[in-house]
Chains A and B, each alone.
Chain A
Amino acid sequence: MEDIRIGVYICHCGLNIASVVDVEEVAKYASTLDSVVVSRDYKFMCSDPGQDLIKSDIKEHNLNRVIVASCSPRMHESTFRKACAAADLNPYLYEMANIREACSWVHEDKELATAKAKDLVRAAVRRVKLQEPLEVREIPFNPNTLIVGGGVAGIQAALEIADAEHKVYLVEKDPSIGGHMIQLDKTFPTLDCSQCILTPKMAAVGSHPYIELMTYSEVEEVTGFVGNFNVKIRKKARYVKEEECNGCGMCWEKCPWKAPSEYEVGMAERKAIYTPFAQAVPNIPVIDRDYCAYFLKGKCRACEKFCERNAIDFEQVDRFVDIEVGSVILATGYDLFDSSIIPQYGYKTYDNVFTGLEFERMSSATGPTGGEICLRDGREPESVAIVHCVGSRDQNYNEYCSRVCCMYGLKTAHLVKDKTNAEVYEIYIDMRCFGEGYEEFYKRVCDEGVTFIRGKVAKVTDRTIGDEEPGKLIVVVEDSLIGSVMRLPVDMVVLCPALQSRADSEDLARKFVINRRGDGFFLERHVKLDPVTTPTDGILIAGCCQGPKDIPDSVAQGAAAAARALSMISKGKVTLEAAVSHVNTDLCIGCGRCEEVCPFNAPKVSMDGGPLPVSSVNEALCKGCGSCAVACPTGAITIWHFKPEQILSMVDALAEVQQ
């Protein structure tokens, strides 16, 4: 039997541990435990001299197990594992006792804390004896990347990766890339035109030799794991042959059938065969079956008649394309909160209550009014109220702040002031102008004569009272700075609706096996230190699918996600978790319980191994959660590094009562 030789190191962590726990006493106690050869206490174990202590002891005392009692393993487990590995000790023969976060920082009584520290060290000693060396395996990493979503975050990520000459598949559900950003007019705080800055990037994507653009397409199915994903893409039928069409526009010019334009948020019409907007990438139309007379009534085919390149194909069906990629960047953006859910704000009840996005289209030179700010009847408004936090910072809808509304509310105010003579009221709860140049822009708009009212709007109504002018919309709001309720007559109301997670985010999260927060946005691995990765290796997130963001932040996150993908590509291989599930085929009865409970499809029962069905685990898919091991009725499945005897040894050790 192996001669177990354990080294135990008790860290003072300066005074963080030593001020509460008697570290010398704990080290002395550890030295009395079975198999402990060396036991020391040291000021900072994580420092270079601290780590050197471990390394030299491993050599000098022939240690084959190491324990550091210090902070949380979530903090320094990898540090000490590396130190062990550097001294040729398998890192899985290292164990950590958490005597800081779980002891000295949460207990005041020195005696009790010291006793607890001893218990934790004793448990670690018992466990480490039973630990086994594990090998970390590496497999090749597919250098192709899938990016889902062609908004500004996805575009940025695609260009970063493609410019490094690695293949990118960019999948977009709409007929063109561009996302929400392409709908915007001016962008805060610099007021540069959104289309002017985005269309060059879109064109670059469209013509990039390393980007395969799949618009009007959606992810159907995902299998595989980091470095080796297989993804099935559904290319929805466009009824236009992409390879034939040259985007001349004759078809949509001749098409007699109209539909509300999604791009213009329903404020203008498009044809039944259409590209969403003039600068669409690719400049290839799609036929909308719900409005096309041929699909509805069986006749017309005007587009087909006029198409010189015979690109129209009414027989087209959805096609499926299988691609192989190493990593995926999800950049699926956001849905705008439906303001009509709050009936008291009058959206869809009163004509002249607009959403921020409708205002963007109205103000855009390419929009339905050619950039003129006007009421539904074409008149110029004399007064405009801008209502912040519609569906955001509201316990009834979304508790979070949507982060961009204050700034685009200010921009709206500026544009109204710039283009009309209207009085403008900005009704806010708090002004949150946190970005570069944002506070300065706020000051600028203040100086432009906009009236700021601090309060939450109670309702918007057309019922005037007293000497209020009929025909006006009355915005009822409590000005919380002076503590009185105001009735504000205006011609136009612009609501600033919340940015919400996509309606299909749950479905997408399931496909890619990632999590969502309570508010529906995709959950990052670490909110501060790892905002672009998810707990599922190889699946990255960028832009508003992770939470409301402005353009600079979306671009930064798109680039950051690309950097992550590139670092994996550059490494060229993936390390597989060693603490995974393992089937003892002698005990397995092939019942399939493991298959049922595994969310990652790692175990498979098959006849491959012999005459009887037995389970085997695809270690690349296994995340080591242990559900299968508990479910297994015969105890055939164990998780390396979390074997029952290892856990039970700790239970035993912790149960022992010392005096």
Chain B
Amino acid sequence: MSEFEPRILCFACNWCSYAAADIAGTSRLHYPSNVRVIRVMCSGMVSPEYVLKAFEEGFDGVMIAGCHIGDCHYISGNMRAEERIEKLKKLLHTLGLEDERLLLRWIATSEGPLFAETITQFVGQLKKVGPSPFRKELVA
């Protein structure tokens, strides 16, 4: 049986982290293709509903990436994201999902290498945690 390949959904804010992902691209920094990125305007825009839906649909890990505290394009949106993350983790516990499946990271525009590293590490981390119990089988 082939090695477990975790599937990751990343919500990246348009101003910092999505731009950092672009920089990772322009710098040709390779990272595992396990991640799919959804561009949002701000990490504060990511409703807990989206995260829960992602787990429900079988993603093994969800990452929310935004600007560093103090650098938010909308002043305080990332603080809202931070406020929510702990509550979300508690909610995940009740669903039987581990802390390690949800990641909140601040990645600035210039930090393309950090974006690539973060994805690489998250993939490694999820490989240790194993497949999500909600994971769906391959569609034949």
Contacts and interface: CB of A to CB of B under 8 A. Distances in A.
Contact of A630 (B15, B44, B71, B72): B44
Interface string B40-56: 11101111111001100
B72 A639 contact: no
A626 B116 contact: no
Given A109-B33, A115-B33, A647-B38, 16 more contacts: A98-B39, A101-B24, A108-B30, A116-B33, A119-B36, A123-B36, A599-B77, A625-B77, A626-B45, A627-B80, A630-B45, A642-B45, A644-B47, A651-B53, A654-B38, A659-B138
A654 B136 CA distance: 13
Contacts of A600: 74-75
A377 B46 CA distance: 67
Interface of A: 72-75, 98, 100-103, 105-109, 112-113, 115-116, 119-120, 123, 513, 515-518, 523, 535, 579, 597, 599-600, 623-627, 629-631, 639, 642, 644, 647-648, 650-652, 654-659
B70 A535 contact: no
Contact of B54 (A115, A116, A651): A651
Most buried by B among A119, A626, A639, A659: A626
Given A116-B36, A123-B36, A626-B40, A599 B75 contact: yes
22 contacts: A74-B14, A75-B22, A98-B39, A102-B37, A105-B26, A105-B28, A513-B75, A515-B70, A515-B72, A523-B71, A599-B74, A600-B75, A625-B42, A625-B44, A625-B45, A625-B73, A629-B45, A644-B47, A651-B50, A651-B53, A654-B36, A656-B139
Given A655-B57, A657-B138, A644 B18 contact: no
B68 to A, nearest CB: 8
Most buried by B among A523, A600, A623: A623
B130 interface: no
A545 B38 CA distance: 35
A119 B35 CA distance: 11
Contacts of B118: none
B96 interface: no
Most buried by A among B24, B75, B139: B75
A176 to B, nearest CB: 34
Contact of B30 (A107, A116, A642, A651): A107
A101 B116 CA distance: 12
Contact of B136 (A75, A644, A657): A657
B41 A624 contact: yes
Contacts of A105: 25-26, 28
A651 B72 CA distance: 24
A106 B139 contact: no
A626 B19 CA distance: 19
A109 B32 CA distance: 10
Given A106-B116, A627-B80, A639-B45, A101 B22 contact: yes
A644 to B, nearest CB: 6
A74 B109 CA distance: 12
B78 to A, nearest CB: 10
A651 B25 contact: no
B102 interface: no
Given A515-B72, A659-B138, A647 B40 contact: yes
Interface of B: 7, 9, 14-15, 18-19, 21-22, 24-26, 28-31, 33, 36-42, 44-50, 53-54, 57-59, 68, 70-77, 80, 84, 116, 136-140
A625 B26 CA distance: 26
Given A515-B71, A627-B76, A630-B46, A106 B30 contact: yes
Nearest to B28: A105
A509 to B, nearest CB: 9
A516 B70 contact: yes
Nearest to B27: A105
A457 B98 CA distance: 53
A627 B77 contact: yes
A638 to B, nearest CB: 11
A626 B77 contact: yes
B33 A113 contact: yes
A644 B15 CA distance: 20
Nearest to A514: B75
Contacts of B50: 644, 647-648, 651
B139 A658 contact: yes
Given A108-B30, A516-B70, A658-B139, A629 B47 contact: yes
Given A112-B33, A657-B138, A651 B57 contact: yes
A523 to B, nearest CB: 7
Given A106-B31, A630-B44, A650 B76 contact: no
Contacts of B49: 644, 648
Contacts of A579: 41
A609 B74 CA distance: 28
A123 B39 CA distance: 12
A627 B38 contact: no
A651 B36 CA distance: 9
A408 B19 CA distance: 37
B14 to A, nearest CB: 7
Contacts of B38: 123, 647, 650-651, 654
A224 B72 CA distance: 20
Nearest to A630: B47
B74 A623 contact: yes
B28 A106 contact: yes
B76 A599 contact: yes
A515 B9 CA distance: 29
Q: Which 4 A-B pairs have the closest CB atoms?
A: A101-B25, A626-B45, A655-B57, A625-B74
Contacts of B71: 515, 517, 523
A627 B9 contact: no
Given A515-B73, A651-B54, A655-B57, A627 B21 contact: no
Given A642-B41, A651-B54, A72 B22 contact: yes
Most buried by B among A73, A102, A600, A644: A102
Most buried by B among A119, A647, A651: A651
A115 B5 CA distance: 14
A356 to B, nearest CB: 30
B45 A106 contact: no
Contacts of A654: 9, 36, 38
A119 B7 CA distance: 12
Nearest to A624: B41
A72 B47 contact: no
B57 to A, nearest CB: 3
Given A106-B29, A599-B76, A654-B38, A74 B22 contact: yes
Contact of B45 (A103, A107, A120, A627): A627
A537 B81 CA distance: 24
B44 A626 contact: yes
